[in-house]
Structure 1
Amino acid sequence: MTNELERLAVRLREFARARDWEQFHTPKNLAMALAGEVGELVAEFQWLTPAESADLDPRTLARVRSELGDVATYLVRLADVVGVDLVEAAHAKLDESDRRYDPDLYRGSARKAPPAAP
């Protein structure tokens, strides 16, 4: 994990420990909380046009920023609890996508690649 993500994970770990919340921070509970926060983030964009979503007014941007903070917090906490290095996992996923989506075949296309071979 990068230094900043590791610092955040440690701060979240200490935050939970100080409040005796570790008992509630099971992978299941954290994943469910993360899904709820993603839902709140999605709700901020739900009725916006594509143009509006690309140019948020200051009040909406403040709410989006807050929801992104919630999403990031739960994601980092979940990764810490299950022992996954988020940066490493993201790089591995990008490497896989790089193999699956040849730029010459997928440039400008939103179509999905066939499932990766096991």
Structure 2
Amino acid sequence: MTLEELSARQRAFSEARAWGPWHTPKNLVMALTGEVGELTELFQWLTPEEAATAAEDPALRPRIDDELADVLLYLVRLADVLGVDLIEAANAKIDRNETRFPPGVGRTALEK
């Protein structure tokens, strides 16, 4: 499934439930933030080593999957409502970052 197909499916889901009046950019950003918070909560007290292997934990993996899906779905819906092409925006951002962060330059060199 492409990002466009996912967006169309999410739009149809919303329209079938007449959620349009509540899917304002402000509300979608707030919902997105809440879902990022729920994802953050899953990792909050893990050590870096535990966090690196969290997706291997059979009890934690389904929760991680659900929260990542929620974040993606709200982000895709927000982009759809705002008319933003996420692939185009992401590629443009990477292009800008390639200038800002040239290869071979470590973080400490950029902080100077």
The TM-score with structure 1 as length reference comes to: 0.87
Equivalent position amino acid for 2:69 in 1: G
Counterpart of 1:12 in structure 2 is 10
Q: Do the aligned partners of residues 110 and 4 (structure 1) sit closer, same or farther apart at CA in structure 2, a change above 3 Å counting? A: farther
Q: For structure 2, which runs of at least 5 residues remain unmatched after alignment?
A: none
Equivalent position amino acid for 1:71 in 2: V
Q: Do the aligned partners of residues 113 and 27 (structure 1) sit closer, same or farther apart at CA in structure 2, a change above 3 Å counting? A: farther
Counterpart of 1:82 in structure 2 is 82
- Number of equivalences: 110
Alpha-carbon distance in structure 1 between the residues aligned to 2:5 and 2:71: 17
Structure 1 runs of 4+ aligned residues shifted over 6 Å read none
Equivalent position amino acid for 1:48 in 2: L
Alpha-carbon distance in structure 1 between the residues aligned to 2:109 and 2:43: 23
Q: Retained in 2: the 8 A contact 1:101–1:113? A: no
The TM-score with structure 2 as length reference comes to: 0.91
Alpha-carbon distance in structure 1 between the residues aligned to 2:109 and 2:59: 34
User: What percent of counterpart residues are identical?
Assistant: 54
Q: For structure 1, which runs of at least 5 residues remain unmatched after alignment?
A: none
Query: Root-mean-square deviation (CA), in Å?
Result: 1.7
